[in-house]
Chain A
Amino acid sequence: MNMLLVAEYRQGKVLGNFHELLAFAAQLQGQPSLFIVCDVNAPPAFPGRVYLADVATYKEYDPSSHQKLLLEAVRREGAEMVVFAHSSYGWDLAPRIALALGAAQISEVTAVVDGDCVVPACNSKLRRRVKSLSHTTVVTLQSGAFSAQAPEVGPSTIIPLEIDDATPYTFQGYETAAAGGVDLGKAAVIVSAGRGIGKPENVALVAELAKALKGEYGASRPVVDAQWVEHYRQVGTTGQTVAPKLYMACGISGAIQHLAGMKKSEFVVAVNTDKDAPIGEIADVMVLADLKQFLPVLTEKLRMV
């Protein structure tokens, strides 16, 4: 099967996530080619055809021209599958390609079983097995689901792409989040507050427990969005990635974007009232309890240890 893998380029760099797309292609025994809009003088190493468009002309974000360029590559390659990362670039561009090709798009693929894709449903509590009914299939792959595989060494065949486009999008540049007061990456213990804390006053329960464990406190996104906790304490894809000796997730369901930021922790304890919360999948210990009752008691006992 001819596969076109879509690599990403951001802030002047080729992102490494296309190595996960390669692993996916290998698993399906497909013949991969690569598409990327990047610096034409520094294309990624890839043994095969690289469809290359110039980022100086088409910008790092411009769904209009990128769609047309990618469709041109799909056409020339006769690709039966177009493979993206399920990322801010991938989920923005993929549906535009799927519609133009009349193709099924299967989002956030975590595995392939007997030719069908498996994707998460209901905040990762469930899995859905999906079959494409169209000639061409577009997939976006969940970050981390296919372990990255470095490209083999070999010569690339560069195929330059150019199109005419009057884009309605003006990409004006990037804004980087202001760096904050604590570096969670350095903490040996992190106790994180999730939406299950219920109200801002309860952040103190989590902060107190973190102090008793001589660690720092962190938070899931809704707690940060509600401005109960500063952004620099957010753990996850759009926050910090941490790997402490102990991570305690209090009132956190365990959405993939949160897990992405903490799953390398050495020991994970979850405190949750829902036995089926997906955090249970990676927790070493799941304490089934109301955190409002459990945390103060635990903190008190730890102080006496």
Chain B
Amino acid sequence: MKILVCMKHVPDMESKFKIAADGRWYDGGDLAWRINEYDEYAVEQAVRLKEQLGNSDITVLSIGPERVKEAMKKALAMGCDRGVHVLDDRPSDRDAMAIATIIAAFARGRNFDCIFTGMQSQDRGSGQVGILVGEMLGLPAVSTIVDFSCNGDNRYTVKRELEGGVRAVVEVRGPALFTCQLGLNTPRYPTLPNIMKAKKKELLTVPVTELAGTGNVQDTVQLFFPEKKGGGLLLEGEIPELADKLIAILKEKTTVLA
């Protein structure tokens, strides 16, 4: 079976963000980067599917500048077989449609049986790319899965997560695409031997111009910090004092210590 996993490199969300000079995205300079959380579940599910079926080959694809190779190496160490790095210095200039076009252009004609993506990225959060890729390739695509099983014979039963903890059980026949939700599985930590082995795996770089298609259908005008609503009190200082202050506030403002 041929499996494709799509992955995005995103900043750690606890980072201190700065707005870039053009005012339209964040400044990537001083940030710590990691695999988009939702995509880690996608990588893990791909590796589990290969472990279940044997005789499979997993390609991991990521669009971005040179640094995304670091994240791809982690995916290779988790068990992907080869990496395709689509080299693009400013992927944030492209909207979801443009990104999906690139992925679909790569996947077309390569006959992947199963494609996994995250349900959304932590930074842009559009939640569109996976479904768009499926639609562009004419494959059934199911979003937000929290449970996956392959019943052999190219049939998949997945559970979509709905509001309030309800799940919808859906069956599709492959080839198919799935977007992965938090909690789908527990992503493994790469072991040292696997990290060493990953160094020898193929990591091909493709210039984005070979795959990019039409332009954007939307434009980011501005990225900005939300206005602080005010009212909230910030307590800083030594731990014992903080505790005393908080207790005093709770006594004054709430009835829970009465």
Q: How far is the CB of B94 from chain A (nearest CB, A)?
A: 13
On whether the beta carbons of B253 and A267 are closer than 8 Å, the reply is: yes
The verdict on A174 contacting B123 (CB below 8 Å), with A96-B135, A104-B217, A305-B257 known, is no
Q: Does B193 contact A (CB under 8 A)?
A: no
Q: Which residues of B contact A226 (CB under 8 A)?
A: 186
On whether the beta carbons of A287 and B166 are closer than 8 Å, the reply is: no
Q: How far is the CB of A263 from chain B (nearest CB, A)?
A: 12
On whether the beta carbons of A231 and B165 are closer than 8 Å, the reply is: yes
Q: Which residues of A contact B26 (CB under 8 A)?
A: 122, 126
Q: Which residues of B contact A234 (CB under 8 A)?
A: 165
| Residues 197-246 of B contacting A (Cβ, < 8 Å) | 216-226, 228-229, 231-236, 239-240, 242-244, 246
The residue that A107 contacts in the complex, of B128, B246, B256, with Cβ under 8 A, is B128
The verdict on A170 contacting B170 (CB below 8 Å), with A225-B182, A283-B232 known, is yes
Task: Provide the bound-state CA to CA distance between A4 and B114, in Å.
Answer: 34
Task: Provide the bound-state CA to CA distance between A302 and B235, in Å.
Answer: 18
Q: Which residues of A contact B196 (CB under 8 A)?
A: none
On whether the beta carbons of A120 and B125 are closer than 8 Å, the reply is: yes
Q: Which residues of B contact A286 (CB under 8 A)?
A: 232-235
The residue that B161 contacts in the complex, of A88, A96, A284, A298, with Cβ under 8 A, is A88
Task: Provide the bound-state CA to CA distance between A92 and B162, in Å.
Answer: 11
The verdict on A122 contacting B234 (CB below 8 Å), with A131-B219, A188-B256 known, is no
On whether the beta carbons of B218 and A133 are closer than 8 Å, the reply is: yes
On whether the beta carbons of B183 and A103 are closer than 8 Å, the reply is: no
- CB-nearest residue of chain B relative to A171? B170
B42-50, B58-66, B75-83, B137-145 - interface stretch: B137-145
Q: Does A207 contact B (CB under 8 A)?
A: no
Q: Does A183 contact B (CB under 8 A)?
A: no
Q: Which residues of A contact B165 (CB under 8 A)?
A: 176-177, 231, 234, 238-239
The residue that A122 contacts in the complex, of B17, B163, B166, with Cβ under 8 A, is B17
A38-46, A47-55, A155-163, A268-276 - interface stretch: A268-276
Q: How far is the CB of A149 from chain B (nearest CB, A)?
A: 20
The verdict on A294 contacting B239 (CB below 8 Å), with A10-B162, A175-B166 known, is yes
Q: Which residues of B contact A213 (CB under 8 A)?
A: 256-257
Task: Provide the bound-state CA to CA distance between A224 and B17, in Å.
Answer: 28
Q: Does A108 contact B (CB under 8 A)?
A: yes
- CB-nearest residue of chain A relative to B241? A297
On whether the beta carbons of A123 and B122 are closer than 8 Å, the reply is: yes
Q: How far is the CB of A55 from chain B (nearest CB, A)?
A: 14
Q: Does B124 contact A (CB under 8 A)?
A: yes
Among A170, A213, A215, residue most surrounded by chain B Cβ atoms (within 10 Å): A170
* Bitwise interface map of A from 190 to 219 toward B, beta carbon under 8 Å scored 1, else 0: 000000000000000000000001110000
Q: Does A125 contact B (CB under 8 A)?
A: yes
- CB-nearest residue of chain A relative to B123? A122
On whether the beta carbons of A281 and B228 are closer than 8 Å, the reply is: yes
On whether the beta carbons of A106 and B218 are closer than 8 Å, the reply is: yes
The verdict on A61 contacting B125 (CB below 8 Å), with A131-B219, A226-B186 known, is no
Among B140, B171, B246, residue most surrounded by chain A Cβ atoms (within 10 Å): B246
| Residues 77-111 of A contacting B (Cβ, < 8 Å) | 87-89, 91-92, 94-96, 98-100, 102-108
User: Can you list 14 A-B pairs with a CB-CB distance of less than 8 A?
Assistant: A60-B168, A99-B132, A123-B13, A127-B223, A174-B168, A175-B168, A269-B250, A276-B16, A281-B232, A282-B229, A284-B232, A285-B232, A287-B242, A298-B242
Interface residues in chain A, defined as those with a beta carbon under 8 Å from any beta carbon in chain B: 10-11, 60-61, 63-64, 87-89, 91-92, 94-96, 98-100, 102-108, 116, 119-134, 168-177, 188-189, 213-215, 221-222, 224-226, 231, 234, 237-239, 245-246, 253, 266-267, 269, 274-278, 280-289, 293-294, 297-298, 301-302, 305
